[in-house]
Structure 1
């Protein structure tokens, strides 16, 4: 983050500007969320970061995006083989790429061939946890929320053992900046047992902090085209 951009944010009129908080400590923001004004400042900052990061992602050359996606797939294969025995016999939740996200559909196909049960998340009820339904290369997709292709209502509903989380931005502490709807955090809070969650994004989407709030849940692992970039320490 440039000093000019940081100074611009500090002059933005926020009563508790996030840029100053980062100078104090990355976890400065009230963990009990007792300061509504502060939470609003964070929300404004996140909206601006989403806009910036998505614009940068969309500006990537097609060839660069494809190369990054291929590298990501290779790194994910290694993670799945070394940590989960290739995920064979497990339910693996992927995602359908939108808005310049890394395209991992070739991985979905290869995992299916290898005996992994692949699922995709979808919104079935607004402001509720996501539902996961089975996907195969033969699945006749339908249009879901935000016009994203999803498995049809008669596809089996599943509970994932391993889940991918697309990232707009990410921090080294394992926190995810998503699209702002809150669906993924809501889903992780509801799933019992919780799946092993791997954040997927481009290396350039790294940010110093998302200024974590009480509803933010750190991911277990973050993988970019550069490899594993963050791993949550188990307590």
Structure 2
């Protein structure tokens, strides 16, 4: 006897959604199931991230920055002569602003992403420590409109969760995926997150684009170029 639709409905509270597999839903329901699962995982992983104390967070960010610096030096020739886009930290994301300042002092051109139009690819404006930042989308500080627009050669992307295949669980806005879909040539992409945020899958959808590398406080955790 075929399993009824009712039997496939969620039988547990949202906080238990990480135990449910959207792959078991009928095809028309899978996309909605994945969205529900991702919302629950974002809340769960952000909650875990928020429990870090100040000292633990500083140690984590220091270790992550050291691994990232080594990667940029060895894999990308220190980003010399290249544009490296990073991010301004929000909602407990690893704070790379000291790393950004170090890159700038070394002569690297640093950029930050800007949402200029909703549901569209990101643009990138040049950042320097002296830049007079303004409030952008989600009240995230961004360089002012007169800052030079740039095309990144290397793009850092904060991740809430990540997989060994390089897939990124973000905030759900889709901005990085839209941007990568129109970038030709595509920049090298590096996800920045926590080791504890490793996931077995994010149930990739057709619009999801895997990143090239994932870096955490434990080092390079995923490297698609190594396969």
TM-score, with normalisation over the residues of structure 1?
0.87
Contact 1:123 1:131 survives alignment (8 Å)? yes
Question: In 1, distance between residues paired with 2:11 and 2:199?
Answer: 20
Matched position secondary structure for 2:107: coil
Task: Report whether the alignment pairs 1:39 with 2:52.
Answer: no
User: What is the aligned partner in structure 1 of residue 92 from structure 2?
Assistant: 100
Q: Structure 1 CA distance, aligned partners of 2:149 and 2:225? A: 31
* Deviation at residue 36 of structure 1 after TM alignment: 3.1
Q: By how many angstroms is 1:207 displaced?
A: 1.2
Asked whether the equivalents of residues 92 and 161 of structure 1 are also in contact (C-alpha less than 8 Å), the reply is yes
Is 2:29 the counterpart of 1:52?
no
Cα deviations across residues 142-192 of structure 1 (Å, max 9, x unaligned)? 000000000000000000000001000011111000001111111110111
Structure 1 residue matching 2:126: 3-state secondary structure: strand
Q: Which residue of 2 is the match for residue 201 of structure 1? A: 193
Q: CA deviation at 1:101?
A: 0.6
User: Which SS does the other structure have where 1:174 is aligned?
Assistant: coil
Structure 2 unaligned residues grouped into runs of 5+:
1-8
Instruction: Let me know the Cα RMSD of the aligned residues.
Output: 2.3
Residue number in structure 2 paired with 1:156: 148
Matched with 2:166 is 174
Gaps of 5+ in 1: 1-8, 23-27
Distance 2:18 2:218 in 1: 28
Query: Does residue 121 of the first structure (1) align with residue 113 of the second (2)?
Result: yes
> How many residues end up aligned between the 2 structures?
217
Distance 1:82 1:43, change over 3 A: same
